[in-house]
């Protein structure tokens, strides 16, 4: 009898501790807003809305070398990937996640987050990229694509330059 009671109180205590832990985890999560304030996406002037050309245009899903338009886009990202891993074929003004959900270009970080989860977590916390604003209030973020061209996101190595000349060496 006594044993049963002790076991019961142990279980109750365990539940209490667990719920405490969960509420802490939740409040930590709440420090990070669900909506991120960002400047407008860095489109080439005149390219958006994409539907100005793509509405009514047949969709060509075949990976190929583009010749009539967008020739400057050379995919050097995710080997084996193609445009529609990110762009939505039916409404070109939206991006599309792997689960089929459509998102706007103002939310392109959710697209990147699918594969770069660790960097996304760091970005939300202001450790990666650039975040400005109040420490305890509204914050502004730069989109991943303000710094990374999504079609070739890796930064190119910088050419090393010779060191500056010493004044004593100037003749
Ligand atoms: C000025 C007209 C024009 C605009 C604006 C435009 N596109 Fe296109 N796009 C084209 C043409 C034409 C092709 C076909 C190129 C080819 O087959 O060589 C194309 C092809 C594509 C393709 C390849 C798949 C397919 O359907 O052929 C993608 C993806 C694409 N565009 C995305 C976009 C996105 C995203 C935007 C907006 C940010 C955009 N385009 C804006 C004209 C345009
Ligand atoms: C990894 C995901 C991804 C892939 C793959 C991808 N795109 Fe994009 N693309 C983006 C995102 C995100 C943007 C929005 C950039 C911004 O906000 O300025 C974009 C922007 C564009 C734009 C507008 C560019 C500009 O000059 O402003 C065009 C056009 C475009 N994509 C066409 C294509 C075509 C064609 C392909 C395939 C050959 C392709 N994209 C593949 C993610 C992708
Ligand atoms: C479907 C998965 C996928 C998506 C979506 C995706 N990436 Fe990537 N990304 C990869 C893979 C895989 C690599 C590594 C392959 C390579 O180096 O080309 C990579 C490489 C990179 C790199 C270079 C990493 C390095 O080591 O220098 C950057 C930067 C990057 N992605 C940024 C982005 C951004 C920004 C977006 C959103 C617009 C995005 N990625 C969306 C899969 C993805
Ligand atoms: C303010 C500019 C800026 C923003 C915004 C930004 N990045 Fe970066 N990112 C960088 C720089 C700079 C590097 C380092 C490049 C290097 O060392 O070659 C980098 C490196 C990376 C790398 C490769 C290294 C690593 O840590 O894995 C990935 C992947 C990446 N960024 C993805 C993203 C994604 C996803 C976002 C948005 C959620 C984002 N970045 C937002 C500037 C930025």
CA-based radius of gyration for the chain: 25
* Of 118, 146, 116, 115, the residue nearest 36 (C-alpha): 146
Q: What are phi and psi of 106, to 5 degrees?
A: -70, -15
Structure tokens given for 81: 């990937």
Q: Which residues line ligand 2 (CB under 6 A)?
A: 41-44, 47, 66, 70, 73, 75, 77, 81-83, 85-87, 95, 105, 108, 111, 145, 150-151
Instruction: pLDDT tens for the chain, 171 residues: list them.
Output: 567 778 878 777 777 666 766 655 554 444 555 679 999 999 999 999 999 999 999 999 999 999 999 999 999 999 999 999 999 999 999 999 999 999 999 999 999 999 999 999 999 999 999 999 998 888 999 999 999 999 999 998 889 998 888 989 888
């Amino acid at each position: 009898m006594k044993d049963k009671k002790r076991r019961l109180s142990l279980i109750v205590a365990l539940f209490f501790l667990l719920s405490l832990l969960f509420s802490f985890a939740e409040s930590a999560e709440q420090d990070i807003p669900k909506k991120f304030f960002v400047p407008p996406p860095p489109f080439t002037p005149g390219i958006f809305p994409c539907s100005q050309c793509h509405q009514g245009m047949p969709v060509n899903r075949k990976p190929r070398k583009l010749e009539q338009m967008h020739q400057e886009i050379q995919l050097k990202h995710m080997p084996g990937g193609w445009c529609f891993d990110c762009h939505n074929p039916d409404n070109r003004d939206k991006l599309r996640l792997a689960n089929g959900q459509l998102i706007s270009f103002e939310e392109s970080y959710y697209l990147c987050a699918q594969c770069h989860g660790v960097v996304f977590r760091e970005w939300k916390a202001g450790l990666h990229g650039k975040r400005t604003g109040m420490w305890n209030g509204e914050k502004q973020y730069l989109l991943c694509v303000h710094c990374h061209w999504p079609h070739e996101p890796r930064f190119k190595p910088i050419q090393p330059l010779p060191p500056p000349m010493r004044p004593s060496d100037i003749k």
